[in-house]
Chains A and B, each alone.
Chain A
């Protein structure tokens, strides 16, 4: 393992933060080895919002399904029969969970363990998220990220607040944040416009349209629900100033990092492969 480079910081995006909590031990170890090379690990408010929206909402869904069908086996049947393939994360959490806590476990044991793990993830997941880094940059001050997860009925009903900036009740600083980052937005849109159509993903096209809209009138930003529509773009802006961006998603990050002058490090989803720099 390389020794930490003094004064170096790394930014962790949503894919990395989720992987650090619920991927395999091998994957977690690989990420830990990478992070040991830096002495400051940071993430941001929109990453927290995505962590809630992706991982913790899935956990709530599984917990509700468990309450409805009543057993671990029943949930497994539900996820394999009902969920479409694109819902793989929900499926995998459920299928993988708890098979190895105790070989003597019955279905009732597994059901109870699954309930406890998922509830704990819901009530403690944001604390875990924050504990895993040295700092959560306030960035655009995402109000959706800061809305707490409220347990309405234990194991059955959880409220996440909205994930639409236009409906957020708390203070959302996205308009001011975008104004402050106008020069960076121009750099990004310049890079994205120069891409060939095959390199321009749907997310990058949405980012391009969004930037054009806010450069014309920043006031429209909240109405466009940026933290759910163009999360990659906001996260990129929040990470600007951190020299290294660590992600499992190369598609958009390679162009955003190029526009912001950051070093990109990609963790492949296959744990047999080394990080790509």
Chain B
């Protein structure tokens, strides 16, 4: 999958960008890893694309942008924190 590979390459180059940018990249990688690409809805794909355009490919990313990204993902029922899942006791 091209986007997943692109994100992987961008992640490898993370030291060239600010940490907040790398946070957006790892959020997207986590979301895409946990959700079969073919099963994403049109609105979910649109949200991912909007995040890529505005934050991954855009200018500097700030802390306040992280909040926008998590809101955009949650709005389309994608969970940015899913890889941080705590195992149930």
**Residue in A22, A100, A271 whose beta carbon sits within 8 Å of that of B86 in the complex:** A22
The complex places the Cα of A100 from the Cα of B83 at a distance, in Å, of 7
CB of B84 within 8 A of CB of A116, answer: no
CB of B71 within 8 A of CB of A131, answer: yes
Contact stretch, chosen from B22-30, B38-46, B49-57 = B22-30
User: In the complex, which residues of chain A have a beta carbon less than 8 angstroms from the beta carbon of B81?
Assistant: 21-22, 117, 121, 128
Q: Give the total of A residues in contact with B, Cβ under 8 Å.
A: 38
**Known contacts A104-B8, A109-B11, A124-B67; is-contact A117 B84 (Cβ 8 Å):** yes
Contact mask for chain A residues 109-133; partner B; CB cutoff 8 A; 1 contact, 0 none = 1001100111111011001100100
The complex places the Cα of A22 from the Cα of B82 at a distance, in Å, of 7
CB of B66 within 8 A of CB of A270, answer: no
**Residue in A23, A100, A127 whose beta carbon sits within 8 Å of that of B33 in the complex:** A100
The complex places the Cα of A95 from the Cα of B85 at a distance, in Å, of 10
Asked if A101 lies at the interface with its beta carbon under 8 angstroms from chain B, I say yes
CB of A121 within 8 A of CB of B87, answer: no
Asked if A157 lies at the interface with its beta carbon under 8 angstroms from chain B, I say no
CB of A92 within 8 A of CB of B86, answer: yes
The complex places the Cα of A97 from the Cα of B79 at a distance, in Å, of 14
User: How many interface residues does chain B have, given as a range?
Assistant: 20 to 34
The complex places the Cα of A28 from the Cα of B22 at a distance, in Å, of 26
**Known contacts A28-B79, A116-B19; is-contact A131 B86 (Cβ 8 Å):** no
User: In the complex, which residues of chain B have a beta carbon less than 8 angstroms from the beta carbon of A118?
Assistant: 84
- Distance from A253 Cβ to chain B, minimum over Cβ atoms (Å): 18
CB of A124 within 8 A of CB of B29, answer: no
User: In the complex, which residues of chain B have a beta carbon less than 8 angstroms from the beta carbon of A120?
Assistant: 23, 66, 70
**Known contacts A28-B79, A100-B33; is-contact A113 B26 (Cβ 8 Å):** yes
CB of B87 within 8 A of CB of A95, answer: yes
Asked if B89 lies at the interface with its beta carbon under 8 angstroms from chain A, I say yes
- Distance from B6 Cβ to chain A, minimum over Cβ atoms (Å): 13
In A222-273, the 8 Å CB interface with B consists of 269-271
- B-side residues, CB < 8 A to A, are 8, 11, 14, 19, 22-23, 26, 29-30, 33-34, 63, 66-67, 70-71, 74, 79, 81-89
- A-side residues, CB < 8 A to B, are 21-25, 27-28, 88-89, 92-93, 95-102, 104, 109, 112-113, 116-121, 123-124, 127-128, 131, 154, 269-271
A-B contact pairs, 6 of them (CB 8 A): A93-B86, A96-B85, A99-B83, A101-B83, A120-B70, A124-B66
